[in-house]
Amino acid sequence: MINTIRSACKLVFVSVCLAACNTYDPEFNASLIPERIAFSATRQYPEGIAFTSTTGQFLISSLTQGKVGKVDEKGHYLEFITDSQLISGVGMKIRDGKLYVCNGDQGISEKSTAQTTLKTAGLFIYDLNTGQNQRRINLAALLPTANHYANDIAFDAQGNAYVTDSFAPVIYKIPNDTTQASIFVNDSKFAGTQGINLNGIVYHPDNYLIVVKSNDGKLFKVDLSDPSKVFEITGVTLLNGDGMILYENDLYVVNGRNKVSQVRSSDGWKTATIVKTDQTGYDQATTNVVAENKIYTLNARIEEVSAAVAAKNPSLLQASTYSIKQFK
- Residues 136-167: tens digit of each pLDDT: 999 999 999 999 999 999 999 999 999 999 99
Distance CA 54, CA 31 (A): 15
Q: With a cut of 80, say whether residue 92 has pLDDT above it.
A: yes
When divided into structural domains, the chain yields a total of: 1
**Residues 40, 320 contacting (CB under 8 angstroms):** yes
The band of 31, judged by pLDDT with boundaries at 50, 70 and 90, is low
Q: Please tell me which residue, 157 or 10, carries the higher pLDDT value.
A: 157
- Report which of 172, 148, 142 is spatially closest to residue 160, judged by C-alpha positions: 172
Residue 269, amino acid = W
Calculate the CA dihedral of residues 107, 100, 184, 246 and round it to 10 degrees: -100
Q: How many CB atoms lie within 10 A of CB 231?
A: 14
pTM: 0.90
Tell me whether residue 20 is in a domain: no
Mean pLDDT of 18-39: 62
Distance CA 120, CA 167 (A): 10
81 lies in which domain range?
37-326
The band of 281, judged by pLDDT with boundaries at 50, 70 and 90, is very high
Q: With a cut of 90, say whether residue 169 has pLDDT above it.
A: yes
Tell me whether residue 17 is in a domain: no
Q: With a cut of 70, say whether residue 1 has pLDDT above it.
A: no
Residue 87, amino acid = I
CA angle 223, 48, 270 (to 5 degrees): 25
Tell me whether residue 19 is in a domain: no
**Residues 222, 209 contacting (CB under 8 angstroms):** yes
Spell out a b/e string for 269-300, using b for 16 or more CB atoms within 10 Å of the CB, else e: beebebeeebeebbebbbbbbbbeeebbbbbb
Tell me the average pLDDT of the chain.
92
* CATH, residue 64: 2.120.10.30
Tell me whether residue 229 is in a domain: yes
Tell me whether residue 64 is in a domain: yes
Tell me whether residue 258 is in a domain: yes
Tell me whether residue 4 is in a domain: no
Distance CA 63, CA 111 (A): 10
Tell me whether residue 12 is in a domain: no
